[in-house]
Structure 1
């Protein structure tokens, strides 16, 4: 796939690296192509840098991994996203993109893209390496677009996750962000450390 990465920090960088290793074409979408966070990502195979508008235009899939309040400016810069899949990896647990509760809801209102909340529920260390003692941990997703969910599920597996669990439709997006807050609570506030993860087990 051709994937635009908007937000080249820890989460975006980890996913860009793992997807590039699987043969996906990665287009980093940045404000300033000569000076941006994550320049080392250009050392990855299949990775190039463009303006946000150019990266999105070239791509089938767009990952947004930025602070939630940046979404309004990002929407203006992305241009036409009709038919494209947008993976919302943000969490509005501190600052919300007012008046919307989440970036997902903002994107659903202001674009005609296929949107899914995904890659938001764990730390970047688990994005880089989702394997624990030989077992691949799970990723989680929510949203109304079955097309977006199908692609998110495939990309989760390509990033090394065991499966991508469906949390439900758009009414479960905020619940999925609270699930992310549960990981943050355990990892940071309760001092368990960032090398912890969730796995759904079945009998």
Structure 2
């Protein structure tokens, strides 16, 4: 698969490193950091043209500017892993995935990979208590199917969590859970296992 990554921070490096079996190209303001993720580095527009799927691994506030610089994104699958969280684990940009879809109306946006801290994505694979990490995905079914294959490449289990209209719920869940983790609570203990 031809994967573009916008950004060269922790999430770009962690996920990009796991997808080394694919054709990965990176665009970032810091070209030297981008080159540590992939030998193929380009501008936003070059990377967009060369990719079928693009991971948005940027600060949430930077996404509109980068999408504008990327040019035509029609038909591309955009994976939104951004989190706009401020002090007190409050959402600073609600409905980020829906905003991305409005800024790139010809693209297919999937909200994914936003519920875990970056070091989880560096694990090969992320397995806890013998159970692979489940990764919820919100977006159109055909785009979710594409991103599901990338989730499986990480050794994780993809979960179709519904359409993009549900992405805001996932963003709010992230903020809520991060607040619990910051306070030293085991947020996962809030949920019983499925058989219960």
* TM tier relative to shorter chain: 0.7 to 0.9
Separation of aligned partners in 2, 1:150 and 1:197 = 29
Name segments (4+ residues, structure 1) moved above 6 Å.
196-200
- After the TM superposition, which residues 1-203 of structure 1 pair with which residues of structure 2 at under 5 Å, given as runs? 1-20=1-20, 23-33=21-31, 35=32, 37=33, 39-42=35-38, 47-94=39-86, 96-97=92-93, 101-111=94-104, 112-129=106-123, 130-143=126-139, 145-161=140-156, 163-190=157-184, 201-203=193-195
C-alpha contact (below 8 Å) 1:91/1:102 kept by paired residues: no
Counterpart Cα distance in 2 of 1:30 and 1:75: 12
Secondary structure in 2 matching 1:147: helix
Instruction: After TM superposition, give the deviation of residue 126 of structure 1 in Å.
Output: 1.3
CA contact (8 A) 2:76 2:108 kept: yes
Task: Kindly report the root-mean-square deviation, in angstroms, between the aligned alpha carbons of the 2 structures.
Answer: 2.5
5+ residue gaps, structure 1: none
TM-score normalised to structure 2 length: 0.85
Q: Give SS of 1:80's match.
A: coil
Q: Shift of the alpha carbon at 1:24?
A: 0.7
How far off its partner does 1:128 sit? 1.2
What's the CA shift for 1:165?
A: 1.5
The number of aligned residues is 188
Q: Secondary structure at the match of 2:27?
A: strand
- Per-residue CA shift, 1:115-147, capped at 9, x if unaligned? 11111111111111112244311111112x112
